[in-house]
Structures are given as structure tokens and as C-alpha cells.
Amino acid sequence: MNGKTESPGSTSRAIVVTVLAALAGFAAVYVTLGGNDNARQVSSAPVQPIPGQSVRSATPSATPNAAVPGQDKLNTGEMAAFVFKKEPETLPEVAFSDGKGQPRTLKDWQGRVVLLNLWATWCAPCRKEMPALASLQKELGSEGFEVVALAVDRAGAEAAQKFLTAAKATDLALYIDPTARGATALKAAGMPTTLLIDRQGREIGRLTGAAEWDGADAKRLIRAYLQ
């Protein structure tokens, strides 16, 4: 014994430090082992914020619904950032026009599977992915499926058509929402945002950011709902 006696205050401080250290260790283990399973689905693809708008980000669940067997294996590879809704979700009414100025809504596509791509002329990632969307439409476009590339852009129809032509995406029909309200109604977090919609007009899921939509992973995802 060294003859020194620890004060009660010193002993209490030592106990507190020991307890805090133990709690910190527990928290570290919890974060490591109990992390969000959806973390792998956070998109690293480029996405451009919508200027001048306060758009609330959608928070679809990563839990696949039972509509398609093996659905949990469809959002892999290039589609790893695609996030399924827990159940197919009814979409709000969105009004826009086609290239001839005729009024359209998403109800016009009921009975068909739709890949709805929200884009704008000021969006650099949109320009990057537009040729892939056009290629997908050229290959899979039919009475049962269409890529609906909707420009939510105040620049208007003429500017949007020039964009499609410059991007070599003339296989895509022109659809335009010059009010840009559709992005807000559909809770798009930025541009581009792409929704997969079933034959009943319900959202299956979405991907925020640019993607290789003419790649094998995207085609496998879409074809699963065309059967």
C-alpha cells in the first residue's frame, strides 16, 4: 500500500468515465451491426437540384412488394439505386402537354407500363442519360410500354425539343410541363428523377439521378413488369 487514499469525488468521476466509455462502445457496435439496410441503395449517380423550388424528397421504402416474384433481386447492378415502394402507390394528378400542345395526364397511359423520366434543359445529368432512355424506348417501346420523358421546364416546348434533338434522343416523344409543378407534385428531389409506373397507374418505385436505362439491369427490371 502506498498510503494514499482516493477521495469519494475521484472515485465517482472514475465510475462515470468507465460507464461513458462502455456506452460509447455499445453505440459503435450498434451502428456497425444495425445500420440501415437501404444504405447500399443511396444513389451515387449525378442529380441536379431544382432551382427556385422547395421540393420535399420522397422516402419510398426499400422493402419489395409481392407483385413480382424475386423483386428483391431486381434493384442490383446499375439499378442498385432504384428504390421500391412498400406497396404500389397511387400517383397525384399531373397535367402536361404533348408536342402538339394537346393536354395530357398520366391517366392516358393506364393499361401500359410507363417509365416516367422527369428532366429539364438546364440539367447536365439529364443530357447524359437521355440517349439511353431513347435507346430503351426504341427497343422496348410498344402498346404495353413507353418511356415518357417529361420536361418540367419553364423554357417551353421549343427549347425542350431542341434539347432532345441535340441529345440524339428523337425516339422519345416530347412532353412538357412549363409550370414545373409536376416535379413538386411527384416529390422529385432533383433532376433527373425516374419513376416506374404499373399498368394501374401506380408507382412501383423510383431512381433519383442519372442511370444506364438501356443496360441489362434496367431492362430486366422493366421486363419483369411487362410479363
Q: Do 214 and 140 contact (CB within 8 A), yes or no?
A: no
The C-alpha cell at 102 is 394537346
The C-alpha cell at 90 is 397511387
Q: At 115, give phi and psi (nearest 5°).
A: -105, 105
Over residues 129-162, the pLDDT tens digits come to 999 999 999 999 999 999 999 999 999 999 999 9
DSSP one-letter code for 142: B
- The reported pLDDT for the residue numbered 52 is 57
Over residues 4-63, the pLDDT tens digits come to 455 555 555 554 444 444 444 433 322 222 333 333 333 446 777 766 554 444 444 444
pLDDT, mean of residues 108-129: 96
Cis peptide before 192 (omega within 30 of 0): yes
Q: Do 79 and 211 contact (CB within 8 A), yes or no?
A: yes
Q: What is the number of alpha carbons within 13 Å of residue 219 lying toward its C-beta?
A: 11
pTM for this model (two decimals): 0.74
- The reported pLDDT for the residue numbered 104 is 97
